[in-house]
């Protein structure tokens, strides 16, 4: 089996499509954050960041993707716009 090349989220984020190679793998960490007024959102960040760092400074992900990743939270809370 060929060796896997783990890319950080930062490496992945800055790559063009033609730069990916066979066996490249990307690790992305996603955190759901429940806020005031029964609202919530989900954020992605560097796989090396802590959950708190992602909740504070990560990139907000698409609502549909977030709802699929966190269906229980989505069913009970309102999406934060």
- Rounded to whole angstroms, the Cα distance separating 43 from 59 reads 5
Give percent above pLDDT 70 in the chain.
Answer: 99
**Domain limits, the chain:** 5-79
pTM score of the predicted model: 0.77
Does residue 80 or residue 12 have the better pLDDT? 80
Residue 45 CA neighbour count, 13 Å, CB half: 15
How confident is the model at residue 1, as a pLDDT? 62
From residue 16, alpha-carbon distances to 21, 26, 43 in Å are: 11, 14, 22
């Amino acid at each position: 089996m060929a060796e896997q090349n783990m890319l950080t989220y930062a490496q992945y984020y800055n790559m063009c499509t033609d730069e990916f190679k066979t066996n490249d793998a990307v690790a992305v960490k996603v955190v759901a954050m429940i806020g005031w007024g029964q609202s919530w959102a989900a954020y992605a960040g560097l796989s090396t960041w802590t959950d708190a760092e992602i909740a504070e400074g990560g990139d907000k992900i698409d609502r549909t993707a977030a709802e699929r990743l966190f269906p229980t939270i989505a069913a009970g809370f309102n999406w934060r716009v």
